[in-house]
Structure 1
Amino acid sequence: MRNKVIVLAIMAVGLFAYTKVMASIGSGSPPPDAPVDQRADLIRVYKSERRMVLLKGDAPIATYQISLGSAADAGPKQREGDEKTPEGRYEIDWRNPKSMAHLSLHISYPKPEEQRAANVNGFPPGGNIMIHGLPNGWGLLGEAHRLWDWTDGCIAVTNAEMRDIWARVPDRTPIDIMP
């Protein structure tokens, strides 16, 4: 029994070290922008369906199956650490090509009213909610990541899908996150 515990501890430390090293390496270079006629002007997320759609006008131009925060079905994000994905209208306000996950697009959560509500209740609202790929070094998981909701409130896709989303979604694109 003791040997099993030692082996598990060594494996856990090794996985942690691997993840830290891969996170510091980054995602590599981002893809070029998609042609204008293939760029989205709205993102719509359907949390209950674990689905994200990029739209141009009223026409869907791409659909992705997603993973969310591990408490995504418990309503909208309200505080740091609740592992919920926000609900409402936001926008993509910046991007990070060197994030610890494969590329990331930042969602403008919290809105001022969400910040005020958290302050009134005496806790931080959280932040750094992103659309992102898999943690760097874990890309081989591919579509298997969809078997469970594993983020802290973010929207996760495969690395290949994230490259497509990065190319198609300009900064300031609105995103509607629905229950």
Structure 2
Amino acid sequence: MLRPNRRHFSLTMLAALAACGTQPPVLKRYLGPPVTQVVVQKERRRMYLLSGQTVLKSYDFGLGNEPIGHKQFEGDGKTPEGLYYIDRFNPRSRYHLSVGISYPNERDRAFAEQFGLDPGGDIMIHGRGPEGKRLVRQKRDWTAGCITVSDDEVEDIFAMLRLGVPVMIYP
């Protein structure tokens, strides 16, 4: 008969704890008309999810901690401006849920390379999660360049968007 040793016990406990890790939220389902475009108006702090010319939903949001101007370099705290696309979904985001925006594009990379700098990346539409809920009380625009909405709102956005949907971000 095998007797469990400490190593076996430790590995078993570690596996059990890992299984209890952060579970992704239960994802909502969306059965309405397809979202064909996302329009973001930075100055107005308004984002619209459109199907053709029809606004399906609109949201107030926060931006990067330096909200004016187009993102150019990693760490500048700006949110990009221009045409991008939905390129990924993260159901295990530390900010509840997140939807990726295709920044940087070729033009963004070329601009940053002129200065020998990194354009940055990982720009998302995301919720607040525990950390963001604390930060948003201090400052509306607190991200490193992302667009942030409430956790409830990002659940709707996550359900409604699909890969490849264009995202037009205006100043």
Whole-Å Cα distance in 2 between the matches of residues 57 and 150 of structure 1?
32
Q: Give the match for residue 35 of structure 1.
A: 31
Alignment map for 1:1-179 (pairs within 5 Å)? 25=22, 27-32=24-29, 34-37=30-33, 39-73=34-68, 75-135=69-129, 137-138=130-131, 141=133, 148-179=140-171
Q: Percent identity at matched positions?
A: 40
Unmatched tracts of structure 1, length 5 or more: 1-23
Question: Given the two structures, how large is their TM-score scaled by the length of structure 1?
Answer: 0.78
Determine which structure has the larger helix proportion and give its number.
1
Whole-Å Cα distance in 2 between the matches of residues 27 and 94 of structure 1?
16
Whole-Å Cα distance in 2 between the matches of residues 71 and 167 of structure 1?
29
Could you report, residue by residue, the CA deviation over 1:46-102 in whole angstroms, capped at 9, with x for unpaired residues? 0000110000001111000000001011x1000000000000000001111111111
| Segments of 4+ moved more than 6 angstroms | none
What is the aligned length?
150
- Over the aligned positions, Cα root-mean-square deviation in angstroms equals 1.9
Check 1:146–1:158 CA distance in 2 against 1; reply closer, same or farther (3 A cut): farther
Whole-Å Cα distance in 2 between the matches of residues 27 and 51 of structure 1?
27
Amino acid across the alignment from 2:103 = Y
Check 1:105–1:145 CA distance in 2 against 1; reply closer, same or farther (3 A cut): farther
Could you report, residue by residue, the CA deviation over 1:10-60 in whole angstroms, capped at 9, with x for unpaired residues? xxxxxxxxxxxxxx725423223x1142x3110000000011000000111
Whole-Å Cα distance in 2 between the matches of residues 26 and 48 of structure 1?
35
Could you report, residue by residue, the CA deviation over 1:136-171 in whole angstroms, capped at 9, with x for unpaired residues? x357x49x6595201110000000000010111111
Q: Is the radius of gyration larger for structure 1 or structure 2?
A: 2
Amino acid across the alignment from 1:154 = C
Could you report, residue by residue, the CA deviation over 1:112-157 in whole angstroms, capped at 9, with x for unpaired residues? 111011111110000000000003x357x49x65952011100000
Q: Give the match for residue 16 of structure 1.
A: none
